Structure 1
Amino acid sequence: NDKTSLELVKPFVEAFLSIQDSDTVDTLKDRGFDIDLASLKSMDEGGYNLFGRVVPLFDNKLSLIEYYSIINDLKGEVFELYKLIFETANKLDMNEKSAIQEIQQPITNPLLQEISELLLANKNLILTGAPGTGKTYLAKILAEAWGAEHKLIQFHPSYDYTDFVEGLRPIQNEEGEVGFELRDGVFKSFCKKALKPIEAYNFDEVYERFIDDLSEKSLEFVTPVQKKPFKVEVTNHRNCKATPMYENASSMSVTRNHIQIYFETGKVNGWKPYLIPICDYIENNYNLKLAATLDTDKKFIIILDEINRAEISKVLGELFFSIDPGYRGESGRVTTQYANLQTEEDVFKDGFYIPDNVYIIGTMNDIDRSVESFDFAMRRRFAWKEIKAEDRLSMWEDQIGDWAEEAKQRLITLNSAFEDIQGLSAAYHVGPAYFLKLADYDGDFDKLWTYHLESLLFEYLRGYPDANEQLVILKNAYDLVEADASNDR
């Protein structure tokens, strides 16, 4: 109640404005999503702003194909946008001071140094260990330390090849005709970004000048072969709209991406009769300089959270071969099952491969009984590092204050008690992340046990004939009962 609605939403508005030129937003714009940035920047208390696309109704009903198109949007690009907004807002949140401090000097941490060296040497790394040891957090911190662009994907049992690599998605054109479109999965898109040339040339500047000029007056051209006239105007998204100059003609969109790909690769991705005259005009009337190079030193890290919760062979498909660290780069090209549908301008037209500057970090809790064991052939393609509970006590700094020393004693004693229970091991230890809840309970260890630890440990002991008795032993260890008795003696 100490903030207005506008103050609460402001961090997310600022986050969205800071990523408005990202690939995720551009993809949505190309699919017809629209937003009024001017009104977003000047929102008042009680105001609102919509970001969406118009969906046609037929006989006042939503078609089945449009329904699935909406579902795909929500599952795909829209979800990625919301995730990107929240991730960006979190980065801008100054309350995460402890994380920022660790990011500023991360490699001085011996554990992080070891993880960094393992990843550099092996390209693929899995962080395993007990729940609550901060494995995902460590992966993010390492990416920040490297200055690497990174992406986090959480695997789950229904995650598959079409989500990760590529797959066909239903679409419906403006005439209502139904078809399918090949779309990149998150990993293929990520690998394409790793191969994207650094923009050390002036395309951005030239394109903006061209669009500004085009905003003042439309241009007229003729198609190269048939010599048919058409005019070019600017769309709301600062793309080009080409319209043949005859009655009832349909307009075609020539996007910034179409133009940039043509200048960078010479390949036509879109409406060729309209694209080439527009590009020729830009080249002849603006001082365009092309000097694109690959930034091979920039690293890209993809974090596969809960990697063992998905069926790895189903997710990777043909990439089972390419993921081997010995086959990074073009030597690891594989032909995917959708190879015949690739467009000419696709960088992976001749086969998909994982670029040399792409690194993979997986995280997993190997005590999860809901998943099968990790594939042995895949195991040898990764280096493995166990993150132990006692290695991560540093996460308590500036978090639980005066309770840290007692929390350390309770954690160590509790985890030691697991050694006396047959069938349990260090993989079942309680991670220090659980004790961060002490800040919410004003240091009440009993509440931490009752609301968080007891149910976890009971799940560990499920199926044991003496589960209740063993749980009492663990509770006594947590309460330091034996230690106190020893001190009395």
Structure 2
Amino acid sequence: MTETEDGIPGSGEPPQFLLRLPGASGVDRARGVLLDEVGTNGSRKFRILAGSPARDREMPSFSKHFSGTAVARETMRNTGVLRPSTRWPGWLELAQDVDCGSPSFAAGVLVGAPRNGWVDWKTEAGAPLSDFMEGVWPGPARAWLVRGSNVAGADLVQKLWLPEERVSLAAPRLRQGIDQGTSKERLRTVVEEDWGTTATYNQKLELVEELHAFLSRMKPGDTVCTLSGGRFYVGEITGPAEQTASDGRSNLRRPVEWRSTGHPYDVLPEEIQRRLSVQHDVVDLTAVQPLIEGLGLSDEELADEAEAIEHDPSGTTPALAARRELELPVPEQHLADKLLVHDVAWLRDIRDLLWDERQLILYGPPGTGKTYTALELAEYLGGGPEQVKLVQFHPSYAYEDFFEGFRPREDPDTREVAFRLTAGPLRELADLASREGNRHIPYFLIIDEINRANLAKVFGELYFLLEYRNKSVRLTYSGDDFALPPNLFVIGTMNTADRSIALVDAAMRRRFAFVELSPRTEPTSGLLRRWLDREGLGTRAADLLDALNSRIEEADFRIGPSYLMKKGAHRQGGLERTWRTKILPLLEEHHYGESFDIEKRYGLEALARSISDGDGESYEPSP
């Protein structure tokens, strides 16, 4: 940082930028200009003009994570360059022009907290400073990971990046004269010609993506991160890309202002760790940018800095919003009453299993309310039906149907049909759950009849992600690096009459918790009686169902109560009709090929004779 008292150098009047300070009601905005002069690391210098106001306090952790800016601010206060203002009591004021290493450094000096100067310094019309940089990718600031801890065996992070305030990318064969802003199409040609047979087809594709990101998509004001020695370092890009003659390990460079301290990898939020598992030298981390910006800062500091957001009346910041914890509400008695569950503790156990495992299967014979219970519980825990998606598996269901694949689609303009990559229900819900602002909201995927499909064929590489939510895998079709978000829960239902739970493979068992819904145990065993009691219909149907299930030896083929939990089953002739058309056909299929009289063993008349009538009446079939 250098201090000046003279006017702005150079011919012509450069545009003047304004900075609104947090909580500065009735206080002028700070003023400054971007200079043509660059610092030793290549970043553009910025001049704060005399008379600009400054905040008289600092964020508590400012000196720890941004020691360079904090020291400069303290020096200016001690030397009288930054002094108490007579125009704005309780504020500081700059006594003379001050040149800083970058717009963000200048903003940090005035605010006493980290600021993205390329975004916060604006013209009178509201255009950010970054709009005035030539060859810069348009749009908001992004976040990037650039790996440098093992470049041809050298740790450039400790050797070059942190000491010299840079970030670099190795491109040893890249010709000279490739400028910032080069198109991807141009880079494809250059990589093909310059690397030739020294790189495989896939390596060339990755090179093009990494070079395009470093040269054209990155811009001043973007966040850049790296890993070294088990620590995660964060900085801000402060200038354009440049190509230098070097040993090939760092010939593409950008200036960076690194924060003073790194963060241990083990304490990083799970979402950041998941993105860091992607195996590329340059990775877009914009999806977790709010979490990165909040590293090392307390909730109180973030809440205090939320005052600086002039366009958001909620008084929050993306970093503060990203910290909102995922929660699953604890089921209350009114949900148990609605579902006719015998004890609310059973619902709370299900909730705890989902929280711990993220995947759960409700299994049992037909008619035990598996799908109904899954839907009602998911809507309660998720906060509404808009957080719940249901799919049903069947023998022909495949990975392409469930996750993503090429499907025939009609072009709306040409009306031609072509195969296009199409997201399935799991990909759609995962993308929604991982969207910025949604990570604290639980989403539920209900898979009905999960055991009717070939699960290894349907899940593919997703089997791994069900167990390791903090990892990512490269997808088969799109090639994206994908991870299942932690706020996506999966509830499957399994009809044990179709396939016994014993036939589920070990991989499936390990990744799901299994909860039985069976007529032999609660909450299913007494469900029909509770429903009949609520509807005032007596206990006859429950007695008959209990007698029926007592005659079925295999638990997987016992009959659930939902067949008789319909008003139609209790109208004139309804019980006999339900028994004849719904229940007996299931048992006939179970005993197919056996010399067995279904009616004699399971018919209503046979069951009625086996039980005593609580009213003193005997059962007579309806005419």
TM value normalised by structure 2: 0.40
Cα deviation 1:238-276 (Å, max 9, x = unaligned)? xxxxxxxxxxxxxxxxxxxxxxxxxxxxxxxxxxxxxxx
- Counterpart residue type for residue 126 of structure 1: I
AA partner of residue 463 (structure 1): G
Query: 1:359: how far off?
Result: 0.8
1:480 is aligned to 608
Per-residue displacement from partner, 1:339-366 (whole Å, max 9, x unpaired)? 44xxxxxxxx3x1111011111100112
**1:349-399 deviations in whole A, cap 9, x for unaligned?**
3x1111011111100112216999322221221110110225234466379
Mapping for residues 220-369 of structure 1, pairs under 5 Å: 295-324=438-467, 327-328=468-469, 331-340=470-479, 349=480, 351-368=481-498
Superposed CA deviations along residues 272-307 of structure 1, whole A, max 9, x for unmatched, are: xxxxxxxxxxxxxxxxxxxxxxx4331111000000
Q: Secondary structure at the match of 2:593?
A: coil
C-alpha distance in 1, partners of 2:603/2:405? 50
Q: Deviations over 1:170-206 (max 9, x none)?
A: 34543465543211111001000001123xxxxxxxx
Residues in 2 aligned to 1:409 and 1:457: alpha-carbon distance in whole angstroms: 18
Residue of structure 1 in register with 2:516 after alignment: 386
- What is the CA-CA distance between 1:400 and the residue it aligns to? 7.8
1:431-442 paired onto structure 2 within 5 Å: 431-437=560-566, 439-442=568-571
Q: Contact 1:153–1:303 (CA<8 Å) still a contact in 2? A: yes
Q: Would the aligned equivalents of 1:129 and 1:365 in 2 still touch at CA under 8 Å?
A: yes
> 3-state DSSP class of the match of 1:378?
helix
> Aligned partner of 2:377: which letter?
L
**What is the distance in 2 between the residues matched to 1:410 and 1:356?**
45
SS at structure 2 position matched to 1:450: helix
Paired residues in the alignment total 274
Larger Rg: 2
Quickly say closer, same or farther: Cα 1:457–1:397, change in 2 above 3 A.
Answer: same
**Alpha-carbon separation, structure 1, partners of 2:436 and 2:443:** 14
- Residue aligning to 1:375: 505
| Distance (Å, rounded) in 1 between the aligned partners of 2:435 and 2:599 | 55
Whole-Å separation in 2 of the counterparts to 1:399 and 1:167 = 50
For residues 104 and 172 of structure 1, do their structure 2 counterparts lie closer, same or farther at Cα, with a shift above 3 Å needed?
Answer: closer
Q: CA deviation at 1:155?
A: 0.8
1:153 corresponds, among 391, 406, 410, to 391
Q: Is the 8 A contact 2:382 2:444 kept in 1?
A: no
Pairing 1:429–2:558 present:
yes
Distance in 2 (alpha carbons) for counterparts of 1:382 and 1:484: 43
Is contact 2:451-2:504 (8 Å) kept?
yes
Alignment of 1:133-144 (within 5 A): 133-144=368-379
Q: Could you list the per-position Cα deviations for residues 143-172 of structure 1 after superposition, in whole angstroms to 9, with x for gaps in the alignment?
A: 122134111111111111111111112345
The structure-2 alpha-carbon separation of the partners of 1:418 and 1:196, relative to structure 1 and needing over 3 Å to count, comes to same
Q: What per-residue deviation string (whole Å, max 9, x for no partner) do you get for residues 90-126 of structure 1?
A: xxxxxxxxx9895699896333222222212211111
In 2, the alpha carbon distance for the partners of 1:459 and 1:332 equals 45
Structure 1 residues 364 and 140: alpha-carbon distance in aligned structure 2, compared to 1, 3 A threshold: same
The correspondence for 1:193, drawn from 432, 444, 464, is: 432
Q: Distance in 1 between matches of 2:580 and 2:342?
A: 37
Q: CA deviation at 1:459?
A: 1.3
Quote the Cα distance in structure 2 between the aligned partners of 1:108 and 1:188. 36
- Aligned partner (choices 168, 184, 197) of residue 406 of structure 2: 168
Asked if the contact 1:400/1:438 (under 8 Å) is kept, the reply is: no
Greater mean alpha carbon deviation, residues 405-414 or residues 99-108: 99-108
Structure 1 residues 426 and 145: CA distance shift in structure 2, 3 A: same
Residue equivalent to 1:459? 589
Q: What is the TM-score normalised by the length of structure 1? A: 0.50
Displacement, 1:407?
A: 1.6
Deviations 1:198-249 (Å, cap 9, x if unpaired)?
3xxxxxxxxxxxxxxxxxxxxxxxxxxxxxxxxxxxxxxxxxxxxxxxxxxx
Question: Is 184-193 or 112-121 further displaced after alignment?
Answer: 112-121
Where structure 1 has 5 or more consecutive residues not aligned to the other structure, the ranges are: 1-98, 199-294, 341-348, 420-424
Contact 2:544 2:604 in 1 (8 A): no
Check the 8 A contact 1:155/1:305 in 2, yes or no.
yes
Q: Structure 1 or 2: larger helix share?
A: 1
Secondary structure in 1 matching 2:546 = helix
* Secondary structure, counterpart of 2:473 in structure 1: coil
Evaluate the alpha carbon distance shift between residue 476 and residue 318 of structure 1 in structure 2; reply closer, same or farther with a 3 A threshold: same
Cα distance between partner residues in 1 of 2:577 and 2:417: 56
Q: Is the 8 A contact 2:544 2:608 kept in 1?
A: yes
Gaps of 5+ in 2: 1-333, 618-623
The answer to whether the 8 A contact 2:445-2:491 is kept is yes
> Contact 1:413 / 1:477 at 8 angstroms: preserved in 2?
no
Give the Å deviation of 1:456: 1.6
**Contact 1:125–1:385 (Cα < 8 Å) also in 2:** yes
The answer on whether the counterparts of 1:400 and 1:436 sit within 8 Å (CA) in structure 2 is no
Q: What SS does structure 2 have at the residue aligned with 1:457? A: helix
2:500, 2:556 within 8 Å by CA — same for their partners in 1? no
Q: Is the 8 A contact 1:332 1:353 kept in 2?
A: yes
Equivalent residues in 2 for 1:69-84 (5 A)? none
Question: In structure 2, do the counterparts of structure 1 residues 339 and 410 end up closer, same or farther at CA, with 3 Å as the change threshold?
Answer: same
Cα gap change, 1:168 to 1:139, in 2 (>3 Å): same
Shift of 1:310: 1.1
Opposite residue 320 of structure 1, the aligned amino acid is Y
Instruction: Work out the CA distance in 1 between the residues paired with 2:560 and 2:339.
Output: 24
Would you say 1:116 and 2:351 are equivalent positions? yes
Instruction: Describe the SS at the equivalent of 1:452.
Output: helix
Distance 1:157 1:172, change over 3 A: same
1:485 shift after superposition? 10
Contact 1:411–1:478 (CA<8 Å) still a contact in 2?
A: no
Paired residues of 1:103 and 1:144 also in contact (CA < 8 A): no
Distance (whole Å) between structure 1 residues aligned to residue 335 and residue 593 of structure 2: 43
The reply to whether residue 401 of structure 1 matches residue 535 of structure 2 is yes
Equivalent pair of 2:342/2:523 in contact (CA under 8 Å): no
Over aligned residues, Cα RMSD in angstroms? 3.3
* Aligned-pair identity (%): 35
CA distance in 2, matches of 1:189, 1:352: 12
Structure 1: distance between partners of 2:535 and 2:606: 19
The alpha carbon displacement at 1:438 in A equals 5.2
2:362 aligns with one of 107, 124, 127: 127
* Inter-partner Cα distance in structure 2 for 1:297 and 1:367: 38
Summarize the Cα distance change of 1:307–1:185 in structure 2 as closer, same or farther, 3 Å threshold. Answer: same
Contact 1:125 1:384 in 2 (8 A): yes
Q: Which residue of 1 is the match for residue 272 of structure 2?
A: none
Taking the aligned partners of 2:602 and 2:371, their CA distance within structure 1 comes to: 27
> What is the CA distance between 1:483 and its match in structure 2?
2.5
Task: Give the match's secondary structure for 2:485.
Answer: coil
